[in-house]
Amino acid sequence: MDAPRLVIEGLSKAFGPRRLLDGVSLSVVAGESVALLGESGAGKSTLLNLIAGLEPADGGRILVDGVDVCTLSGDDSTAFRLHRIGFVFQAYHLLPYLSAVRNVAVPLLLARVPAQQALATAGALLARLGLAERSEALPAALSGGEQQRVALARALVHRPALILADEPTGNLDPASAGAALALIKDCVREHDAAMLMVTHSAQAAAQADRQFQLTGGRLVAR
């Protein structure tokens, strides 16, 4: 059996009296993709933020490649995220003063990969997403769909063990969405990574190996 890349055990998170996550448990193995659906406000994005170490959990454990991210803080959390987790944000979070290819290369440059190699790797990934001719454009000159593909490439470029995707196809047309999902799945298989994807799209969710609904603070298999 493939080793688990992500193990969640008894995870809980509340905001005031409202309990968003109530003892959530999940395991995702290498090479597997899992889709998470649920109504707006159900806690899907909060779950991704907890896994990435961007928010503290109230209880439970989150293991990524055997490391409990709940025990990491400060520089250790940032370094772990840089090397082991790829995060596709719903709001892109591209750096406005950097070209598309340099935005994609940021994780490699932060990991001290030589600039020429980092830019070549980033450029090749953008080409796979149909953005070869837009690689030198600044984010302000890109459409929403193009920005989303750049954000996707940035999340994949350092070959993370775990890919967290928050509505990765939300602003893409059907053809581009299909290509983006195919690329994510290829990267998951090629690099023995795992993916947890939050989506409202039944079509996108159907591309995953397993689907769960987050409702009432708990995960229900679909």
| pLDDT tens, N- to C-terminus, the chain (222 residues) | 578 999 999 999 998 888 999 999 999 999 999 999 988 888 999 999 999 999 999 999 999 999 999 999 888 999 999 889 998 877 788 999 999 999 999 999 999 999 999 999 999 999 988 899 999 999 999 988 888 889 889 988 998 999 999 888 777 788 878 877 887 888 788 878 899 999 888 888 988 999 999 999 999 998
CB 222 within 8 A of CB 199: no
What predicted TM-score, i.e. pTM, was given to this entire model?
0.86
DSSP 191: T
Q: State the first-to-last Cα distance of the chain, in angstroms, to the nearest integer.
A: 23
Q: Where are the beta strands (DSSP E) in the chain?
A: 4-15, 18-29, 33-37, 59-64, 67-68, 85-88, 162-166, 194-198, 210-215, 218-221
Indicate the SS3 state at residue 202.
helix
Q: Where are the domains of the chain?
A: 30-55+71-206
pLDDT one-digit tens code per residue, 75-133:
899 999 988 999 887 778 899 999 999 999 999 999 999 999 999 999 999 998 889 99
Q: Which homologous superfamily is 30-55+71-206 in? A: P-loop containing nucleotide triphosphate hydrolases (3.40.50.300)
The secondary structure of the chain in percent helix, strand, coil, rounded to multiples of 5, reads 40, 25, 35
